[in-house]
Structure 1
Amino acid sequence: MLKRKTAPVKNNKHNLAPLILCIACVLINLSFNNLVSRVELPVSLYLDTIGTVLAAVLGGTLPGVLVGFATNFIISFSQPSSLYYGVINVMIAVAASYLSERKKLKKPSGLLALALSLTLISGIFGAVIPWYMDGLALDSESLSGEINKTGFVGPFISYMISNTATNFLDKTLTVIIAELIYRLIPVKFSSMFRFTGWKQTPTTGVEVIEMDRSDNRAVSMRIKMLIVLLISLSTVAAVGTYISVRVYYKSMINQHIAIAQGTAKLAAKELDGDKIEGFFTSGGDTEEYREAHQLLEDILYSSPEIKYLYVYRMEFDGFHVVFDVETDDTPADVIGDVLPYDSGFEPYMPELMAGEPVEPIITDDEYGHLLTASEPVYDSEGKCQCYAIADVDVEMLIKNKHNFLTEMISVFFSFLIIICAFVIWLTDYHIIFPLRSITMQIDKISKSGNDQETLDDDVRKIRRLKIHTGDEIEQLYQSLCTMTLNQSEQMRSIRRLSDSTLKMQDGLIITMADMVENRDSDTGDHIQKTAAYVRIIVSGLKEKGYYAEKITPKFMSDVVRSAPLHDVGKINIPDGVLNKPGKLTPEEYEIMKTHTTAGKKIMEHAIETVEGDSYLKEARNMAAYHHERWDGKGYPEGLHGEVIPLSARIMAVADVFDALTSPRVYKPAFPLDKALSIIEEGNGTQFDPKCVEAFMDSLDEVKKVLRKYDQV
């Protein structure tokens, strides 16, 4: 195709022209395909990829693959198999776009290369898909049959060569017609047909697009993202396909088991068990026998899924033939013939000899790979005289499974190419081009040296890019702009990042605590309330000057942030103990007490894993020791007084008060006065007196927490 002058890059927000191109090219494909289908031609022509090639050359890969797949999707409404050939049309778009973007279509040799490429794609994949879907047999009079007769290649390669040869004329005409249409489009319009999605001011758009290599990278970000996409999609597709094929095959087996059982039951129902012995005596030479045989033939021929239908009597020396319906590929055995037992029937011989029903059997022997269902035929005395047996060809089911697999793979590849094309386009405009623009301007700033005027000009240029991707790239851009203007803004950005990290850590703490709380049906808003009470107590201690050396701003922050994790060890407590609606037995209570040691281990492991997060040490102390008592009668270690970590002493008051004022399945919530009196009773025995004092002196704040959670 002719070389055209590169037009300036424009920010086409609506991409109306590319959409019109896609619609027009789909109509071109459908129109030419409909035309050749209505005209009797001596050669095979399809001409359903003209619009695909045109869209790929004018608009690039994305419009091309969209047009290619949309064409086959629309045709599939009248020709369902066209959907599975959509991968060919999509690959044609990729090939045409590839050659066009590399300026290979400026000369006739390039057009010939395009025609040959399209021919190979259509010939090879156009042979693979029907061969594995339909298992085509070669016509001896066809070109593929003649090639196969030479003996140089097998049937499949013969069919592929024949299909490739017959596609050459079609693809050559496709390229010629697409070239003619391309020449009719004015140059000023041809540059409008690419989808664009600039997230910046493309003042250097062409330069950005052509900046495709860098000395300091081995693999571009586009390639890396494609690799990740291909691996992830292929993995998901492989797993999904495997599961789908398994489910499909199992469904087919179950469906054909039902058909075989139904056929066997129908045949057994039509036979009179009292007459079986007479059939053997007469050698089948009676009118009744012939009528029954004809009935079995009718049953077999009315069920295309059934391959064989016959009636056998089971004896110790083998199958005794009663009826056998002849098929096209297998002659029928005559009544009285004795056939040896197949190895697949051996496990079921006791049931068969006893005349009992037998589950369907799958065998693979000289008669083929068969699914066999049998139904006993009883006489008037209830004795089994023989079995009506129906066989389904399992090879047919396996072939159907392979067809299904081929269909899934072909459709998957179509979507894979479309998704890859879209991801490349999205990656270019949302990641690659903005990053390249930033890189170009930063390089200029780095080379500006001590020239203040040049530096100021470069700073203005980077700000004029106005990148608005709405994601991390825009954040990077804003950070770079800020950095070039003012170092203090850079530090402010770092502080914002630090705040964000702290919020994330707090969110993780709440999430971990919620995981535990959600297992305990009694806790309600326990972690929120205890955290609030802890804040009240530690603030009160600070105001009173108690434990001044210990209660630093960092300690206060660590205790409040860690408070939600005090019951994290309950994640190890069985539900039967944790949610028991009554008093725990001594054994159950001992199990419940282990939540303190379990919490300690969990938090120690977290401390080892997350180095530097010292606030987790207070989380460990609260998780391990919040059930210790001031008088040393608590658990798990029987610590007393100030030997108990201060954070655990604070949590002890908050935890017990919330337990008293919250309803449980074994008790209602205590009134506030009753709960406060119990706390006072524990002053100096169960609780640190200073913690109780700080709590009691802050009752107004405590009541606010209770009102917030509707408890007072």
Structure 2
Amino acid sequence: MKFKLTRIKLSDIRTMCFEKIGIPVYVIAGALLNIIIAFIMNVFKLPLYFDTIGTVAVSVLCGIYPGIVTAVLTNVVCMLFNPTAIYYMIINVMIAQIASLYSYKMRQQKKMNFFVFVFAVSFAAGIVGMALQWILLGEPQFVEVVEMAAFINEQLGINYVFCTFVINLLLNILDKSVTIFIALSIVKIIPESYREAAFEGGWRQKPLSVEEREKIKRENIRNRKSLQRKITTMLVVDSFAIAVIMGITGLRLYYSNLKSEYRTNVKNAAKLASEVVNADSINWYLNSGKKPIEYNNSEYNKTNKLLSSIRDTVPGIEYVYIYQIKEDGCYIVFHTNETFQTEMYIGEVIPFDKSFDPYLPALLAGEKIDNFERADVFGFIITAYEPIFDSKGKCVGYAGADISESYIGDYMRVFTLRVILIFSGFFILILGYGLWMTGFNLIYPINSMASCLDNFIEDNTNQEKLDENVKNIKSLNIRTGDDVEKLYRSICHMASATAEQMRDIRHYADANAKMQNGLIITMADMVENRDSETGAHSQKIAAYVKIILEGLKRKGYYASKLTPKYIGDVVTSAPLHDVGKINIPDAILNKPGKLTPEEFEIMKTHTTAGKQIMEHAISTVSGENYLKEARNMAAYHHERWDGKGYPEGLHGEVIPLSARIMSVADVFDALVSKRVYKPAFPLEQAIEILKEGAGTQFDPKCVEVFLESMDEVKEVLIQYQNL
């Protein structure tokens, strides 16, 4: 058996490794990379992190939301071996946002400087991270930072807190420089096609270009009532409202439970304190009048230490003490307050405050009382008293314990901050998910459909563009699997049906136009057949009119008037300009000599007769613009620019534009064509007559463009010279 060895290219290996990788795989791989590196850093207690390499790579590769998911997943798992990791989740999320912005700018061809990118990430991570360390831990997280800051403070006198911030920022610059370099290197080795696939992995339609997405964003920003703005506002308001309601409710319940727990703790502390004191020695201690610090009695000192141990062991306890209650106040026997230990004397009296009034009879009687709250100079305090009985069963004092509610408040503030830090990462995750889903499943599909439909409506006069727009709509390939996709399918069906209907309408319109043109030519032939020497006058006139219209459009004259529809109407109806001659007697129409004044007056009536014929046709076929222009040309093509024409003596631009164009074309054809009453003029002579008439008989702009197009005019003359 023979084996064939083949050389495998590096590009083939990369393609096999990254083929068919989806966004979830990138997210899991990125989070796993973060977790492994974070675990190594935690084991060796290094003052660096490198736990955002996967976050940066996924954010650059797949976009903001996969980056945020990677960040949140990383910190949630890292909490298993580093309990404080969950509080730094917001930093990882911020890095994901900055990295995705960097990637997006690069795709917009707006290059973001690598060093600016590194500094932005380092500054955000360094400042926020250091602030969280001071708030949560009371000092920097790493011993190396503490020692270096202390050394600089001692040697140079620079503020210690400021030093910790600067050192932490520098460490983050080093950390994030290496992190970003490694992350971008990982992205670089992934084939271009798979990078694009990863970046476009969230689409539920044909991916839009960066420019198209930016256009949609700009339109949504300008439109205050845009769907994206409404959805974003709804998500933010609803998420924040739910978070606030649940947060307040949770904190109140937690505070209530914490307070209940501390009530139990203070009661237990008082109970323990009552058991460690030798009740038979209390009166003897009171009579000594010594300071505790001066007491050499080993039993007293031992009891003092036990009471301090209770204070330090039971959570939340601020003070533990032993009092003897008399009518004039509380006589101190033991107290864990340092002031009492060094400055006060055993047996000193603390007067009762008003909070003791309800309980004083029971205390004086040596009875048990419930926990109670009282106010002193330090704020509200939860107090528990436990009676102490001597060997004869007589109550000789009370063991007391205090928990300050300010302590509970401080604990609650730290707890609230931690909840906010944890929640902020998840809040951004939820908000990002909402925006991600609505963007790819709602905003982009709807805007894409709207854009295609706008083009479909605007270009409906051209069947080729209409068919192209139908293809564009179908190429969107929206596949959200919900009502948006259902709407898209309906729009595709409607667009296809509309395009086919427009095709049929155009087919019928073309057939109708051909029929109309045939009727026009027939009517023109009826007139020409009465004058055998006109020599294809109608065809030549239509050609000259078209030349003048195109010349005016090319020069930008009468731009608002010269629409494609108008040009088509004028050219189509040009042969009807002399339709009124059908009413002129043959003897006058074909007279070889000069007409008498009476005959000329009759000849001039062909303009009014033509107007009447066209108006009758217009009333029969309402709304046909080409007939309206036929009426204008039939009625006014003998009007003059200076107002000396007929039948109404109109002047300048008061004369309809179609009639002014026809005037130039009609006179030129009459000059260069043979008539029964004259021979054909040479072309040069006809041109001179037109030049002389510009501004008097003719619209000078029409003459200008006609003479500039003389090559085309000559082609018409050659075409019809044998007719």
Q: Distance in 2 between matches of 1:45 and 1:294?
A: 43
Change (3 A) 1:463 1:167: closer
String of CA shifts for 1:514-566, please: whole Å, max 9, x gaps. xxxxxxxxxxxxxxxxxxxxxxxxxxxxxxxxxxxxxxxxxxxxxxxxxxxxx
Match of 2:451 among 440, 463, 467: 440
Q: Counterpart of 1:414?
A: 425
Pick aligned residue for 2:438 from 423, 427, 437 = 427
Question: Corresponding residue for 1:652?
Answer: none
Distance in 1 of aligned mates of 2:322 and 2:491: 86
Q: By how many angstroms is 1:97 displaced?
A: 0.4
Q: TM-score, normalised by structure 1?
A: 0.58
Residue 333 of structure 2 corresponds to residue 322 of structure 1:
yes
Q: Among 41, 45, 48, which residue is 1:45 paired with?
A: 48
- Cα distance change on mapping 1:26 and 1:118 into 2, 3 Å: same
Aligned length, in residue pairs: 470
SS of alignment partner, residue 16 of structure 1: coil
Q: Does 1:76 align with 2:87?
A: no
* Residue 403 to residue 427, structure 1, CA distance change in 2 (3 Å): same
Partner of 2:271: 265
Match of 1:21 in 2: 26
Match of 1:240 in 2: 246
1:179 aligned to which of 174, 184, 196: 184
**1:226 matched to 2:237:** no
Q: CA deviation at 1:240?
A: 1.6
Counterpart-to-counterpart distance in 1, 2:84 and 2:375: 32
> What pairs with 1:591-630 in structure 2 (closer than 5 Å)?
none
Q: Describe the superposition over 1:556-612 as per-residue Cα deviations: whole angstroms up to 9, x where unpaired.
A: xxxxxxxxxxxxxxxxxxxxxxxxxxxxxxxxxxxxxxxxxxxxxxxxxxxxxxxxx
Q: Distance in 1 between matches of 2:255 and 2:103?
A: 44
Equivalent residues in 2 for 1:341-352, closer than 5 Å:
341-342=352-353, 344-346=355-357, 348-352=359-363
Q: 1:412 to 1:383 in 2, by over 3 A?
A: same
Secondary structure class of the residue paired with 2:398: strand
Contact 2:239 2:431 (8 Å CA) reproduced = no
Q: Tell me what 1:392 maps to.
A: 403
CA distance in 2, matches of 1:302, 1:31: 37
In the alignment, which residue of structure 2 is the partner of 1:637? none
Residues 25-80 of structure 1: per-residue CA shift (max 9 Å, x gap)? 22332344345456686xx3211112211111111112211222222222211111
Q: Give 1:446 deviation, angstroms.
A: 0.9
Q: Which residue pairs with 2:216 in the alignment?
A: 212
| Superposition deviation, residue 101 in structure 1 | 0.1
Using a 3 Å threshold, how does the CA distance of structure 1 residues 208 and 90 change in structure 2: closer, same or farther? Answer: same
Structure 1 residue runs of 5 or longer lacking an equivalent are 1-13, 488-712
Structure 1 range deviating more: 385-394 or 448-457: 448-457
* Shift in CA distance, 473/129, structure 1 to aligned 2, threshold 3 Å: same
Contact 2:106 2:112 in 1 (8 A): no
Find 1:55's aligned residue among 44, 55, 58: 58
Q: Residues 394 and 161 from structure 1, CA distance in 2 versus in 1: closer, same or farther, beyond 3 angstroms? A: farther
Partner SS for 2:48: coil
* Secondary structure, aligned partner of 2:216: coil
Is the Cα–Cα contact under 8 Å of residues 29 and 71 in structure 1 kept in the other structure?
yes
Report the CA distance between 1:124 and its aligned residue: 2.2
Q: Secondary structure at the match of 1:336?
A: coil
Which one has the largest radius of gyration?
A: 2
| Change in 2 beyond 3 A, CA 1:452/1:290 | closer
Match in the other structure for 1:360: 371
The alignment partner of 2:319 has SS state of: strand
TM-score normalized by structure 2?
Answer: 0.57
C-alpha separation in 1, matches of 2:196 and 2:248 = 44
Structure 2, unmatched stretches of 5+, are: 1-18, 499-723
C-alpha contact (below 8 Å) 1:36/1:45 kept by paired residues: yes
Mean Cα deviation higher: 166-175 or 273-282: 273-282
Seen in structure 2, the aligned counterparts of structure 1 residues 46 and 104 have a Cα distance that, compared at 3 Å, is: farther
Deviation at 1:435, TM superposition (A): 1.0
SS of equivalent residue, structure 2 residue 323 = strand
Question: How far apart in 2 are the matches of 1:463 and 1:212?
Answer: 20
Deviations 1:256-313 (A, max 9, x none): 2111101212222444655543443466887765665565455445435433221111
Question: What is the distance in 1 between the residues matched to 2:471 and 2:111?
Answer: 48
Output the CA distance in 1 between the equivalents of 2:408 and 2:237. 31
Q: What is the rounded CA distance, in whole Å, between the counterparts of 2:270 and 2:187 in structure 1? A: 65
1:194 to 173, 185, 199: 199
Select which of 116, 126, 130 maps to 1:123.
126
Cα offset, 1:195, TM superposition? 5.7
Q: 1:210 to 1:264 in 2, by over 3 A?
A: closer
The answer (yes or no) to whether the contact 1:208–1:437 under 8 Å persists in 2 is no
Within 1, Cα distance between the matches of 2:218 and 2:153? 51
Contact 1:140 1:146 in 2 (8 A): no
Amino acid at match of 2:60: V
- Cα 1:393/1:15, change in 2 over 3 Å: farther
Tell which deviates more after alignment, 219-228 or 61-70.
Answer: 219-228
Greater alpha carbon shift after TM alignment, 90-99 vs 355-364: 355-364
CA positional deviation for 1:337: 1.8
Q: Paired residue for 1:674?
A: none
Query: Does 2:208 align with 1:167?
Result: no
What is the aligned partner in structure 2 of residue 87 from structure 1? 90
Choose 233-242 or 355-364, whichever is displaced more.
355-364
Q: Kindly indicate whether residue 407 of structure 2 is the aligned counterpart of residue 401 of structure 1.
A: no
Contact 2:88 2:129 in 1 (8 A): yes
Following superposition, the deviation at residue 345 of structure 1 comes to 3.8
CA contact (8 A) 1:15 1:195 kept: no
Name the stretch that deviates more: 173-182 or 202-211.
202-211
